[in-house]
Amino acid sequence: MEEKRYESDLTRKEKRHLEWEKIKGMKWKARIGYIWEYYKPHMAVGLGIILVLCIIGQIIYRSQFETVLSVAVLNSPMGDSEGMAADFKKYLKDTDKFHEITVDSSMIFGGDGQSDYTSTMKLTTLIGAQELDVLVAPEEQFNHYTEMEAFFPMDEILTEEEKEAYGDAVTEYGIRIGNTEKLQEFQMTVGEDAYLAVFINTENVENAKSFIKYIYGGGES
């Protein structure tokens, strides 16, 4: 007499064959429901693995990028920040696809209390995280961060020849730029009292110097 075998006694190959025989005997709608219920845990594991691999791949891909200059331009919410970033990269003749230049023109001061508070929190966070190299701001905000000793002295940024070229616009910790043609080209309407300053913790001093020349409409970097 043949010994009765239970499903738990079957080999993996025999179990797969048994499952396939069950599926073949079902109608299509039943097959789909059965496959979904039976293989749902396996699918979940597979999707989880794919998701983890995608996240790891994205992290590895993003790690190749380097921000070579990050600029905050205040009071210019309608400005073309992406256009300016792309134009400055072209000005630098930087063709490295992994080099990024960012221009953030979203922060507004001098409006309502809520926008001032939100912008102050964002700007303070970016400065604290050392994620900004250059600030273009109205005189009030420039003076505020000057008092906090946030900027490089211009003596350490510009040569004597460069300071002479910019004349009286150069102050101890910044340079008065007003509404230059380059700012207007990208709808960056900071104001006639606009100043440009370089943060003391920047690691991109040379690009910051090039940005000053660029904003003034200078020639090649």
DSSP class per residue in the chain: -PPP--GGGS-HHHHHHHHHHHHHTS-HHHHHHHHHHHHHHHHHHHHHHHHHHHHHHHHHHHTT-EEEEEEEETT-TTS-HHHHHHHHHHHHT---TTEEEEEE-----SS-HHHHHHHHHHHHHHHHTT--SEEEE-HHHHHHHHHTT-B--GGGTS-HHHHHHHGGGB-SS-EE--S-HHHHHTT----TT-EEEEBTT-S-HHHHHHHHHHHTT-S--
Predicted TM-score (pTM) of the model is: 0.72
pLDDT at 140: 93
> Which pairing describes strands 195-198 and 175-176: parallel, antiparallel, or unpaired?
antiparallel
Predicted confidence (pLDDT) at residue 220 exceeds the cutoff of 70 = no
Of 197, 191, 199, 193, give the one whose Cα is nearest residue 212: 197
Domains of the chain, residue spans? 9-61, 65-215
Instruction: Report the percentage of the chain scoring pLDDT > 90.
Output: 52
pLDDT at 191: 87
The greatest distance separating any two alpha carbons of the chain, rounded to the nearest whole angstrom, comes to 109
Question: What would the CATH number be for the domain defined by 65-215?
Answer: 3.40.190.10
- pLDDT tens for each residue of 68-113: 999 999 999 899 999 999 999 999 999 999 999 999 999 998 767 7
Contact 196, 136 (CB under 8 A): yes
Of 1-10, 168-177, 210-219, the poorest mean pLDDT is in 1-10
pLDDT at 179: 87
Of 11-20, 61-70, 136-145, 169-178, the poorest mean pLDDT is in 11-20
pLDDT at 1: 45
* Whole-angstrom distance, CA of residue 91 vs CA of residue 40: 54
